[in-house]
Amino acid sequence: MPRRRKLNRRKKGRRSYLLIGIGFFLLCLIFALLVGIQTVMALVHDLPKLEEENFLSLGQTSRIYAADGSLLAEIYGTENRTVIPLKSIPLYLQQGTVAIEDERFYEHGGVDYEAIGRAALTDVSRGRLAEGGSTITQQLIKKVYLSDERSITRKIVEAVLATQLERTASKDTILERYLNTIYYGENAYGVETAAQTYFGKSVTQLDLSECALLAGLPQAPSAYSPRQDMAEATERRNTVLQKMADLGYINQAAAHGAASLPINLQQSSGAVNEPYFVEYVKQQLIDKYGAKKVFEGGLKVQTTIEPTMQAAGLEAIKNTLNEEGDPAAALVSIDPSNGYIKAMVSSQDFKKSQFNLAVQAKRQPGSCFKPFVLTAAVEQGADPKKTYYMSKQIDIPMAGGGPPWHVATYDNQYYGASSLETAMLHSDNTVYAQLVMDVGPEKARDAAERLGIKSPMATNPSIALGGLDQGVSPLEMSSAYATLSANGMYAEPIAITRVEMPDGTLDYQANPQPRKVVKDGVAYEVTKVLKADIEKGTSSKANIGRPAAGKTGSTDNLQDAWFVGYTPDLSTSVWIGYPDEQLPMTDVHGGQVWGGGFPATIWKDFMSEALKEKPKKEFPEPKEKPDFKKLTGKFVLYSGGDAPSTHDDAYGNAGRTTTSPGSNSND
């Protein structure tokens, strides 16, 4: 009996300890739950709001297109992306993604507890915290709102937000956002950019095999990249295909058939064509929209550039400057009727130098500035055929004192009494230096500015030859000569014709509005002189067998050489020089470089190709001819009979001539 009581007391003791243990465990569990609830409540209190705009403001790639619709460049910040609707994404790609990433996607409410359980077992077996178990919804939440931190806290927040999102958005909406957001490797975000990156086509054109490959990338974009490891990528694709078959999305025959296909990669469309022009356009876009909009706004930008003309310009330069150590060259071509930039070419390697010679290089234009002085003179009544000056060396005092400006011809050949037209054909510096003093340097600068020169120009006598130590760009020169071609109608140079928003809304449409800056009769008189220059003057190497007008230009030390010319359809400038140093071009292919040589040759080759499909066209007669009148004491006029043989200028320089009527070498 006593023994039985002792056993009962022991049982009661063990039962008491067990009850105490259970009670303690329950208290700990309740405490842990309370702490957990408090933690979750605290986390929930600080959760970011699932604002709709956060999903709709994904950075998208902007694209720049040439005039013919071909892609020039893709512009993006940190994420290269194009957002498209779910209906445009192949069903195979949707199914493959669900199969390999979240097979119970259409069943769970944002968090797949079954998958979490499997992942937890894996974590325990590996002895570390893994990322497994995340649903498509959770992955989307992490990408849009959270960091890549791996912690219990972040997982709790992710789960809460995923549950919230599932209550407010449909499965199709979540899948669409996921497929447009996730990273696919090779700097491609979203399925459209991924399709372009790997296969060189839109996602709408992908077949089953290609869809399976893309579906398998997000889990490990680098490891499964076909560009990095084709064998691994192929195995991953086949895993996706088998998973799709296991889940009933496709049959086994389709899976085997797609798995037997080779993976045919294409060059990504992200390469930049015409990089100098693209940078020029990009800066204009940034000025208008701001950098964020340009790099993340998904703009569709149509431009004026003609790829065939770009190719013709580069070919013309390469065929002429084809030896190591040759100077650089730039070419700009503009449609005079509307200011559209048709070609913008630089011979430099963009990878080595991003300096755009066509736009940023400001170089002295030499005699190419004489047509602007002639324009101002004709506006004041000077008849190019009947206004004469003595061709001779001359010293012209400069404003503010200092040594006078000594003016001579390039080859020291002088032609006696020369009309403005004859002096242009000989590119006689001395005649135009005298002319600018009668016209007024301010009037010459004003004419140049109205025609299209935007760079600042000092109003001293040297403006007759483009100024001393002053420069203009090939773009400006092409634009200014285009105004002469268009009968005095100036059109602002235009590179962008339209800009569309990602949703197709038209935000900008070019609306060229040429304005009259010079009377058509004045422009026509200048054009006649420049037309004669190509026919029988220093510009004869630029003759293209159709009506054209142009002018050569070279600096005294041969550091710059130009040819600028135009037809009724196209105005083109060509510049040659060393961009990094002011080096004289005295030994290029064994000779000197002057405007009537290499630049004229490049211009001729380019214009011949660019205009080959266009019919020959004459410059139209003006509606209003200029009023040529004798302005006593200003211009030296000649109305008939023998031309005057000498004329002492206002600076005390007696007229002297050395006749050499057949020479074209002066520039």
Buried b (16+ CB within 10 A) or exposed e, 505-535: eeebebeeebeebbbbbbbbbbbebbbbbbe
Find the mean pLDDT for residues 197-219: 95
Is residue 301 within 8 Å of residue 65, measured between CB atoms? yes
Please check whether residue 663 lies inside any domain of the structure: no
User: Which one has a higher pLDDT value, 499 or 633?
Assistant: 499
The strand pairing partners of 409, in sequence order, are none
Query: Using N-to-C axis directions, what is the helix angle for 152-168 and 2-45, rounded to 10°?
Result: 60
DSSP per-residue codes, 481-511: HHHHHTTTEE---B-EEEEE-TTS-EEEE--
User: Letter for the amino acid at 598?
Assistant: F
pLDDT of amino acid 41? 44
Please check whether residue 272 lies inside any domain of the structure: no
Residues 335 and 197 in one domain: no
Residues 393 and 527 in one domain: yes
Residues 605 and 482 in one domain: yes
Please check whether residue 342 lies inside any domain of the structure: yes
Please check whether residue 24 lies inside any domain of the structure: no
User: Which one has a higher pLDDT value, 138 or 644?
Assistant: 138
Residue 397 pLDDT exceeds 70: yes
pLDDT tens by residue, 533-583: 999 999 999 999 999 999 999 987 899 999 999 999 999 999 999 998 889
Find the mean pLDDT for residues 412-436: 93
Residue 496 pLDDT exceeds 50: yes
Please check whether residue 597 lies inside any domain of the structure: yes
Residues 243 and 339 in one domain: no
pLDDT of amino acid 523? 98
Q: Are strands 80-81 and 188-189 parallel, antiparallel or unpaired?
A: parallel
Residue 138 pLDDT exceeds 50: yes
User: Which one has a higher pLDDT value, 101 or 636?
Assistant: 101
* Average pLDDT in the chain: 84
Q: What is the CATH number of the domain that holds 407?
A: 3.40.710.10
pLDDT tens by residue, 517-526: 999 999 999 9
Residue 505 pLDDT exceeds 80: yes
Is residue 136 within 8 Å of residue 101, measured between CB atoms? yes
Total domain count for the chain?
Answer: 2
Please check whether residue 619 lies inside any domain of the structure: no
Residue 464: band (very low, low, confident or very high) from pLDDT cuts 50, 70, 90 = confident
pLDDT of amino acid 51? 56
Residue 458: band (very low, low, confident or very high) from pLDDT cuts 50, 70, 90 = confident
How far are the Cα atoms of 146, 242, 246 from residue 162, in angstroms, in the given order?
A: 12, 28, 27
Is residue 519 within 8 Å of residue 488, measured between CB atoms? yes
Residues 126 and 213 in one domain: yes
Residue at which a domain ends, from 610, 629, 660? 610
Find the mean pLDDT for residues 133-144: 84
Residue 292: band (very low, low, confident or very high) from pLDDT cuts 50, 70, 90 = confident
pLDDT of amino acid 258? 96
Residues 231 and 365 in one domain: no
User: Which one has a higher pLDDT value, 406 or 564?
Assistant: 564
Find the mean pLDDT for residues 166-180: 92
The whole-angstrom separation of Cα 374 and Cα 30 is 97
Residue 644: band (very low, low, confident or very high) from pLDDT cuts 50, 70, 90 = very low
Residues 393 and 482 in one domain: yes
Residue 139 pLDDT exceeds 60: yes
Find the mean pLDDT for residues 187-207: 93
Find the mean pLDDT for residues 624-631: 74
pLDDT of amino acid 383? 94
Find the mean pLDDT for residues 122-145: 68
Most confident range (mean pLDDT) of 35-44, 137-146, 161-170 is: 161-170
pLDDT of amino acid 654? 32
Please check whether residue 538 lies inside any domain of the structure: yes
> Domain range holding 477?
313-319+329-610
pLDDT of amino acid 580? 83
pLDDT of amino acid 269? 57
Residues 221 and 340 in one domain: no
Residues 247 and 336 in one domain: no
Residue at which a domain ends, from 610, 630, 652? 610
pLDDT tens by residue, 43-100: 454 455 555 545 556 789 999 999 999 999 999 887 888 999 999 999 999 999 999 9
pLDDT of amino acid 374? 97
Q: What is the CATH number of the domain that holds 227?
A: 1.10.3810.10
Residues 339 and 220 in one domain: no
The whole-angstrom separation of Cα 1 and Cα 49 is 73
Residues 355 and 495 in one domain: yes
pLDDT tens by residue, 328-374: 999 999 999 999 999 999 999 888 888 999 999 899 999 999 999 99
Q: Which helix (H) or strand (E) holds 563?
A: strand 560-566
Tell me the CB-side half-sphere exposure of residue 61, using CA atoms within 13 A: 26
Tell me the CB-side half-sphere exposure of residue 169, using CA atoms within 13 A: 22
User: Which one has a higher pLDDT value, 256 or 466?
Assistant: 256
Task: Give the number of other Cβ atoms within 10 Å of residue 652's Cβ.
Answer: 7
CA dihedral 451, 456, 461, 464 (to 10 degrees): -40
Residue 122 pLDDT exceeds 60: no
Residue at which a domain ends, from 583, 610, 637? 610
Please check whether residue 544 lies inside any domain of the structure: yes
Residue 630 pLDDT exceeds 60: no
Task: Give the number of other Cβ atoms within 10 Å of residue 341's Cβ.
Answer: 27
Buried b (16+ CB within 10 A) or exposed e, 105-134: beebebbbeebbeebeeeeeeeeeeeeebb
**What is the 3-class SS of 405-470, one letter each residue?**
EEECCCCCCCCEEEEHHHHHHCCCHHHHHHHHHHHCHHHHHHHHHHHCCCCCCCCCHHHHHCCCCC
Residue 321: band (very low, low, confident or very high) from pLDDT cuts 50, 70, 90 = very high
Q: Which two tokens stand for residue 392?
A: 């001779």
